[in-house]
C-alpha cells in the first residue's frame, strides 16, 4: 500500500523509481529543511543577507506572544541600523510585516488553534471543505487526508500544506515574488548548472545526487535552476520567454514555485513585446494586427471618455487593451495564437468607430485636411490619415506625400517665430542707437 501511495504522489511522477516504504520515509525526512527567504532571490529559498544570518530571527509558528514581541523589537533595531535601499533592509522590512501580522493573528485567537497563519508571505487559512478533489502537500508532496488531517491553503498563491508542515515552509509566496519583480524571466532557460547551486536543491537545499533516482535533480525550464523531486513535480507550463522569442507554445517542465508564479501571473500584463522582441510583429501577422488595433483603441478611448454616451462602451477588454503601456499578458498572447482576441477586437473597434463617427459631440472633435480642403472628417485611428508629430494636425496620406511630408501648420508657426525674432533684434538695435546718440 505504501508503494502505491508513493507511486501516486506527484513527487515520483514521470520518474523511473521503484518505490519502497523505506525510500518514501527517507525522501520525506530529507526534504524537511527550512529557512528564511527573499523575493529578490526567488530561486534560492534559503537566502538570508549575510550581515543578519547569525541574528537568529526565525520564529516558530507556535511561538508565544512575548517571543514574537521580542523578535519585533529586535527587527526594528536592525532596520534602523541597516543601510538604506539595501537588500538587508528590504528583507528585514518584509519580515517585520510578517511578524506583526502573526502577532495580530495570535491576539485574535487568544492562544488557541489559529484558523489563519501568516508565514513567508503566505496568508494561510485552514481548509474546512476540500470537496472530493485529491490534494498533495506542497512541502512534503505527501497526500493530504482531509478526513483525519488538518491542512492550510494560501489565499494568494494556493500553496497547500499539512498542519504539521506549516512550521517548515521554506518557499516564499509566489504572489510576493511576482508583485516585487513585476515581470517574467525573458531568458530562455537561464541554466547555471548544479555546481553553481553547490549540488543542492534551489528551494529546500536538499543535497542532489544521480545515484538515487528518488532524489534526482530536475531542471526547471523557467528559472534554469535544479530542484529535488519534492519541490519539482514535473508540472507542464508554457514558458513566456520561449513564446516571445520563438512563438513556441510547447509546454515544458517547471518547478512548483515557477508553476505557481506563472499561474498567478497568467493574466497580468507583464510582457513588453516591442522592447523584448520587436521583430516578432513581422513574423506573426495576427500579433501585428492586434497591436495596430490597440493603438486605435488608445485614440478611441480619448473620444469615448469625454462623451457621456461613449463611456458605456468601455468594456473590461477595452480598458485592458486600450492602455497606453502597450504590454501584453500571457492570456492575451494565447488568445492571439487561438485567433479569438483578433475577432473580439475587430468587433469592438467597429462598434466604437460607429459611435464616434455618428455622435455629434465626438464627430465635432475630428480634423479636416488643409491641403485638399475636402469636407471628409479625419480621425487619428483612420488608416488613410496621418498625424503630424509636432502639432497633431491631420492630413490624408496622399496629400501628406504630395506636400513633401511637410506640415503646413508647422511651416506657418516656424515663419511666425522667425518674424518675431527679427522684430526683437530690430527693436534692440534701435534702442542701442538712440542711447549712443544721446
pLDDT tens track for 321-369: 766 568 899 999 999 999 888 888 888 888 888 898 888 888 888 888 8
Q: Is residue 15 part of a domain?
A: no
Pick the most confident of 127-136, 204-213, 338-347: 338-347
Q: Is residue 6 part of a domain?
A: no
pLDDT (0 to 100) of residue 58: 64
Q: Is residue 431 part of a domain?
A: yes
Tell which wins on pLDDT, 53 or 80: 80
Mean pLDDT of 407-421: 86
Mean pLDDT is lowest, of 8-17, 19-28, 210-219, 394-403, for 19-28
Assess whether pLDDT exceeds 50 at residue 423: yes
pLDDT (0 to 100) of residue 322: 66
Quick one: 285 and 352 in the same domain?
A: yes
Tell which wins on pLDDT, 241 or 392: 241
- Cα separation of the two ends of the chain: 116
Assess whether pLDDT exceeds 50 at residue 46: no
Quick one: 347 and 401 in the same domain?
A: no
pLDDT (0 to 100) of residue 25: 33
The mean predicted confidence, pLDDT, of the chain is: 78
Q: Is residue 207 part of a domain?
A: no
Neighbours of 264 (CB within 10 A): 18
Quick one: 341 and 401 in the same domain?
A: no
Band of pLDDT at residue 48, cut at 50, 70 and 90: low
Domain that holds residue 286: 275-363
Order of strands, edge to edge, in the sheet holding 160-162?
A: 116-119, 122-126, 151-154, 160-162
Domain total of the chain: 2
Quick one: 280 and 347 in the same domain?
A: yes
Q: Is residue 40 part of a domain?
A: no
pTM greater than 0.85 (yes/no) = no
Q: Is residue 284 part of a domain?
A: yes
Q: What percent of the chain has pLDDT over 70?
A: 77
Q: Is residue 313 part of a domain?
A: yes
Which of the listed residues 329, 363, 397 is the one where a domain comes to its end?
363
Quick one: 348 and 285 in the same domain?
A: yes
Quick one: 283 and 358 in the same domain?
A: yes
Calpha distance 81→89 (Å, rounded): 9
pLDDT (0 to 100) of residue 77: 83
Mean pLDDT of 29-46: 38
Mean pLDDT of 186-191: 92
Neighbours of 347 (CB within 10 A): 10
Please, which residues have CB within 8 angstroms of residue 11's CB and are 6 or more apart in sequence? 27, 141, 229, 230, 233
At 385-413, the pLDDT tens digits run 888 888 888 888 888 888 888 888 888 88
Q: Is residue 241 part of a domain?
A: no
pLDDT (0 to 100) of residue 147: 65
Quick one: 287 and 356 in the same domain?
A: yes
Please, which residues have CB within 8 angstroms of residue 125's CB and are 6 or more apart in sequence? 115, 116, 152, 153, 154, 155
Quick one: 332 and 397 in the same domain?
A: no
Amino acid at each position: 500500500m505504501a508503494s502505491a501511495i508513493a507511486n501516486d504522489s506527484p513527487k515520483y511522477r514521470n520518474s523511473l523509481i521503484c518505490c519502497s516504504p523505506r525510500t518514501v520515509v527517507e525522501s520525506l525526512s530529507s526534504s524537511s529543511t527550512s529557512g528564511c527567504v527573499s523575493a529578490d532571490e526567488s530561486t534560492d529559498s534559503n537566502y538570508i543577507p549575510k550581515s543578519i544570518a547569525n541574528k537568529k530571527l526565525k520564529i516558530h509558528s507556535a511561538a508565544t506572544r512575548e517571543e514574537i514581541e521580542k523578535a519585533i523589537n529586535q527587527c526594528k533595531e536592525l532596520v534602523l541600523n541597516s543601510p538604506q535601499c539595501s537588500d538587508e533592509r528590504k528583507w528585514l522590512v518584509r519580515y517585520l510585516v510578517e511578524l506583526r501580522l502573526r502577532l495580530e493573528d495570535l491576539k485574535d485567537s487568544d492562544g488557541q488553534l489559529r484558523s489563519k497563519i501568516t508565514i513567508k508571505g503566505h496568508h494561510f487559512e485552514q481548509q474546512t471543505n476540500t470537496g472530493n478533489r485529491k490534494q498533495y502537500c506542497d512541502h512534503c508532496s505527501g497526500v493530504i487526508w482531509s478526513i483525519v488531517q488538518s491542512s492550510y491553503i494560501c489565499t494568494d498563491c494556493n500553496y497547500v500544506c499539512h498542519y504539521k508542515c506549516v512550521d517548515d515552509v521554506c518557499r516564499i509566496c509566489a504572489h510576493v515574488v511576482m508583485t516585487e519583480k513585476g515581470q517574467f524571466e525573458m531568458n530562455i532557460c537561464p541554466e547555471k548548472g548544479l555546481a553553481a547551486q553547490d549540488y543542492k536543491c534551489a528551494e529546500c537545499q536538499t543535497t542532489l545526487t544521480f545515484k538515487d533516482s528518488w532524489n534526482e535533480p530536475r531542471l526547471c525550464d523557467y528559472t534554469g535552476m535544479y530542484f529535488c523531486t519534492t519541490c519539482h513535480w514535473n508540472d507542464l507550463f508554457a514558458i513566456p520567454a520561449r513564446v516571445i522569442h520563438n512563438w513556441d507554445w510547447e509546454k515544458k517542465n517547471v518547478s512548483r514555485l515557477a508553476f505557481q508564479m506563472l499561474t498567478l501571473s497568467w493574466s497580468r500584463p507583464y510582457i513588453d513585446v516591442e522592447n523584448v522582441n520587436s521583430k516578432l510583429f513581422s513574423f506573426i501577422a495576427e500579433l501585428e494586427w492586434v497591436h495596430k488595433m490597440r493603438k486605435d483603441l488608445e485614440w478611441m478611448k480619448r473620444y469615448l471618455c469625454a462623451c457621456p454616451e461613449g463611456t458605456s462602451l468601455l468594456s473590461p477588454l477595452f480598458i485592458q487593451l486600450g492602455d497606453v503601456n502597450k504590454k501584453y499578458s500571457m492570456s492575451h498572447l494565447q488568445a492571439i495564437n487561438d485567433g479569438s482576441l483578433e475577432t473580439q477586437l475587430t468587433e469592438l473597434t467597429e462598434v466604437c468607430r460607429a459611435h464616434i463617427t455618428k455622435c455629434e459631440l465626438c464627430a465635432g472633435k475630428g480634423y479636416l485636411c488643409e491641403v485638399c480642403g475636402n469636407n471628409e472628417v479625419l480621425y487619428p485611428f483612420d488608416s488613410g490619415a496621418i498625424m503630424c508629430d509636432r502639432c497633431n494636425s491631420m492630413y490624408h496620406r496622399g496629400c501628406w506625400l504630395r506636400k513633401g511630408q511637410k506640415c503646413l501648420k508647422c511651416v506657418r508657426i516656424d515663419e511666425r517665430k522667425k518674424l518675431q525674432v527679427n522684430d526683437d533684434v530690430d527693436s534692440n538695435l534701435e534702442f542701442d542707437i538712440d542711447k549712443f546718440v544721446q
